[in-house]
Structure 1
Amino acid sequence: MLRPEYQPTVRVRGAFNLTPIRQGSDGMLMAFARSVAAQIEAEVAAITSRRERALFQDYMEACSSACPGPVLALNRDVVMMNEQLGTAVTGPDHYALLDHAREIAEHPRLEGTRSIALPSGRVTELRVGRCRREDSDAGAVFRVRLIGRPQPAPAVSAAPAHSNLGLVGSSPHWLRAVADSETAFAAGTWLHLLGEAGVGKKTLVEALHRAHGTGRRLETAEAPLSNAPAVTERWLHDIGELLVVPTNVLVLSDVHLLGDQLRQRLTSLLVRLDGSATGQLVITSQPSMVGADDRLDQLCGASVEVPALRHRYGDIEHLARFFLRRYRPSGESGFSPDALTVLQRCPWPENVRQLESVIRGLARRPSGRVIRAEDLPPECRVSRTRSSPPSRRWNATPFCVG
């Protein structure tokens, strides 16, 4: 049964052109158009039906096992969860869980078990089981393990929430990434920071260095712009020179941009230096670009994933107020509730960097009045489709929709 609020929405899937067909009456053309459209619609429905049947079969097998526990199955259009999961995960946790599960389902290389911090403070482990169809759109089935209990939500404050390092944010996933990074950095462990562009990896490293880098010099090396032998040789030489200085903290930025050959040569260089009296190494990259068998990642004693802004639900308001104070220090204006709602619904594909850019642009406008939803740029008015309810949800025994 489909609940009324989850009825399918109409979406354009394609178009065909009748202009080359000049013979026949308008009535014949319209009849032909209807016939072609019906055939296309039937084929799309058949493909979708096969995908959903395959997903449903795998989901039912997971639910009928001896100890099923909470089970989730989804693809781009359908979400199914059993009663155990539907009653255990609600509110912001519900949408956060779907957010992460959908991202995992869309990346075939992401297998195994992934631990995710939910907005309530609980941790959930998602064990991925791919749908048996080879079609990447078929979806995935997850066995879910919930750890801990929801923590009371903190009172909403106009002041930005800061970590011990002075970084804005208090979402569990963010605080966990900061704490794990700080532990590794303070111990002198080589650290790998993974995260999408703009999530704040550079800001995090700078904060760690301010707090624990007394007497040490922070150096940064970016991926070379050219693969010319002379350029790469010089780049590798410079890295070796910087890293042999024990008082250096060397940040290798965006190593996912390195070609395979240069990546292998860099790995060999670091293997030779590892274990000797060297400086501390921090490398940054994007998570979708790093394979599970990456040797460069394995050289680091700690690997931490910095969460995307769309996964830091409660921090968007604090970050927006923080940036407004930075770029309009007089504090003569703030945000209306509807403006904050729009900001929180935005998907922020460029993460904190994009949010800062938007607030910087708003701060240039005449001060003295509250920023409302209509003042926000068009890019902010695109709702977060990942966290919103999907177009179709199924509700039938033995599963339900939370």
Structure 2
Amino acid sequence: MVDLTLGEPDSGPLREEIALSWRRSQLSGLRPSSPTDRLTWAEIDRGSRLVRAAAPVLDQMAEQLADTPLSVILADRNALIVDRRFGERTVGTALDGIGVVPGIQYLEETTGTNAIATPHELRRGVSVHGDEHFLEALKRFACYGHPIVHPVTKRLQGVLDITARSEDANPLFAPFLVRAVKDIEQRLLDSARESTQLLFAAFQSARRRSTPVLVLGEELVLANAAAADLLDATDHAVLRDLAADVVSLGPKSRRLRLCSGTVVQVRAERIVGTGGAAFELTPVDAVRTPVPRRRKPTGTAAAATTAATPARTAAAARHRVLIAGEPGSGRTTAARALADGHDVAVLDAADVPALGVRRWAAHMDELLTSHPGLTVVESLHLLPAALAARLSRILDTAPARAVLTSAPLNELSGEHACLAGRIPDRVELPPLRARREELPELARAMLAACRPGRAVRFAPGALELLAAQPWPGNLRELEAVVRYAADARSAGDITARDLPPSCQGSPRKHRLSAWEQAEHDAILSALRATGGNKVHAAERLGISRSTLYNRIRSLGITV
């Protein structure tokens, strides 16, 4: 049952679709008093297919709305505002005051119930009047929003909204806007036909080369025979991720290892007017070197193989290795991989509260002085300071081989930092968000581990959606998602619809480049180290406060 009296406005109970939207907004942690000036700004693509198709329609609407207290707002498939037009200048000023400006994302989780976010969520036209808005700042407006859907693919392309002050609301809003949406959808169809012709022309030009050639459009994939033999679905997902960078940043050339084991030099160029890219792949290795399937590690073991290699090198040289990384990044698996067939004894700092300091310390002393195999000390950052100091002293004299795991090194301080400093051989595991190119292969290895012998695979669309997620839980979270998808599909392709609700829909935020991701992580680390104090974080990073605030907004960092 839906509580239709949930926070009901002065005019009476909420309509069911509005009440459900209010409930979603509340579950997102939003409050009616939440301000709109905290919304994240992002770069917009003014040359996108949607913007180009909508521009003439918006121009015509602007002429019709001249000298009226009305505005029309265009948002893309991610609810990011990309254009707006208004009659009176005062309307533009009012929109500025509530953050309705190009580059701002209007989602229910950040802006509550309104005629951009709610049609985007429901995929149908919605009117929102005055007090039906969830945020107090929006209650003086009335608006109607309608989704823009591609006529061929039936995928959401964006939302068109018409907004006015509550007293200027008119029942003709809906038919006026629906007509404009139909015009935009027709122009999208015409553009798609033109785009397809451009993609074919680019492919015909590129296929004259003897090397493998691939063209990726938003809805079209073209490949010559050499590329078809070389690539599989997992490779397509990685290349499509690269195509997004090419479209926004320009031509790229890089080396890439394909799932077959072949290393190729990839040259990618944007195909103007299509939102697509052309790839030329030149094999670097003459012979493919796939890993034999019977010996190939699976699941999280596969994810830790890369990290374990430098750790093994360190372990061969010395008796001590430290493996650091975020929770779920594969610390335990990488540590166990160093056993090389010897017995492994594990001491977990998380067990100190249950066992007691004395009993845990006695067990530590015994293992580090007499255990003949490998001793793994898990999560040293959770040790009480006194135990961390005691472990440091023991490691100075104990003969046992030991591997310690910890949180990222820049998060350690005091005795924990001193303990880490005594172990010069260190391996820091990257978070999954920094390994997006590896993600398709990791997901495939995990799928093979939980469904051995089954004819199940990830479709390219599902892999693209996985690669777009932030993965705060790292490999552990990815493994849970893979198991969920495997339970939903016993055979055939796992599509985007088979992924859990947390992964569904368009990515909520723009994808970060590798440089932006590094900047994001550095700022987040500084904020954590300073307890969220932005002044001290700016000093730690060597930048001004204003620069820090701008980067926090631009990178979508939540503090």
TM-score range, shorter chain: 0.5 to 0.7
The alignment status of 1:388 with 2:512, answered yes or no, reads yes
CA shift for structure 1 position 166: 5.4
1:252 is displaced (CA, Å) by 1.1
* Superposition map of 1:59-138 within 5 A: none
Task: Tell me the alpha carbon deviations over residues 50-102 of structure 1, each in whole angstroms, 9 at most, x when there is no partner.
Answer: xxxxxxxxxxxxxxxxxxxxxxxxxxxxxxxxxxxxxxxxxxxxxxxxxxxxx
Question: Could you tell me which residue of structure 1 aligns to residue 463 of structure 2?
Answer: 340
The reply on whether 1:281 has 2:402 as its aligned counterpart is yes
Q: How many residues align?
A: 255
CA pair 226-264 structure 1, distance change in 2 beyond 3 A: closer
1:125-152 C-alpha deviation (Å, 9 max, x unpaired): xxxxxxxxxxxxxxxxxxxxxxxx9752
Matched to 1:152, the amino acid is R
- Residues 359 and 2 of structure 1: is their aligned pair in 2 closer, same or farther, counting only changes over 3 Å? closer
User: Does residue 218 in structure 1 map to residue 218 in structure 2?
Assistant: no
CA deviation string 1:5-56 (max 9, x = no partner): 68411458789xxxxxxxxxxx9xxxxx88999xxxxxxxxxxxxxxxxxxx
**SS of equivalent to 2:374:** strand
Q: Secondary structure at the match of 1:181?
A: helix
CA distance in 1, matches of 2:253, 2:304: 17
* Same amino acid, percent of matched pairs: 27
Letter in structure 2 aligned against 1:352: L
Does residue 152 of structure 1 match 2:152? no
The CA deviation at 1:344 is 0.9
2:499 equivalent among 362, 376, 386: 376
Highest RCO, 1 vs 2 (Cα 8 Å, sep ≥ 6): 1
RMSD: 4.2
Residues 317 and 34 of structure 1, relative CA distance in 2, 3 Å threshold: closer
Q: Is the 8 A contact 1:195 1:305 kept in 2?
A: yes
| Separation of aligned partners in 2, 1:332 and 1:354 | 23
Rg larger for: 2
Q: CA deviation at 1:384?
A: 7.3
Q: Gapped runs of 5+ residues in structure 2?
A: 1-42, 49-81, 83-101, 113-129, 131-135, 141-237, 239-251, 263-288, 517-559
Normalized per residue, the structure richer in helix is: 2
User: Does 2:309 align with 1:179?
Assistant: yes
Query: Which consecutive unaligned segments of at least 5 residues does structure 1 have?
Result: 16-26, 28-32, 38-118, 120-148, 391-402
Distance 1:231 1:359 in 2: 37
Q: Determine whether 1:291 maps to 2:434.
A: no
Secondary structure at 1:192 match in 2: strand
Q: Say yes or no: does 1:265 pair with 2:387.
A: yes
TM-score calculated relative to the size of structure 2: 0.39
Per-residue CA distance 1:153-184 (angstroms, 9 max, x = gap): 12344999869x95579xxx988743331111
- Given residue 180 of structure 1, which amino acid in structure 2 is its aligned partner? P
The corresponding residue for 2:451 is: 328
Quote how far apart the aligned CAs of 1:376 are.
Answer: 0.7
**Which residue number corresponds to residue 364 of structure 2?**
239
Choose which of 355, 372, 376 in structure 2 pairs with 1:251: 376
Q: Distance in 2 between matches of 1:330 and 1:176?
A: 25
Contact map agreement 1:195 1:286 (CA 8 A) in 2: yes
In 1, Cα distance between the equivalents of 2:258 and 2:352? 51
Measure the CA separation in 2 of the matches of 1:357 and 1:314.
19
Deviations 1:186-243 (A, max 9, x none): 2233111110111111111122213xxx4x4211111154558x81011111101100
Match of 2:426 among 294, 300, 303: 303
Q: Does the C-alpha gap of structure 1 residues 175 and 332 become closer, same or farther in structure 2, counting only changes over 3 Å?
A: closer
Q: Counterpart in 1 of 2:336?
A: 206
Distance in 2 separating the partners of 1:206 and 1:2? 46
Tell whether the 8 Å contact from 2:374 to 2:400 is kept in structure 1 after alignment: yes
TM-score normalised per structure 1 = 0.53
Aligned letter for 1:351? N
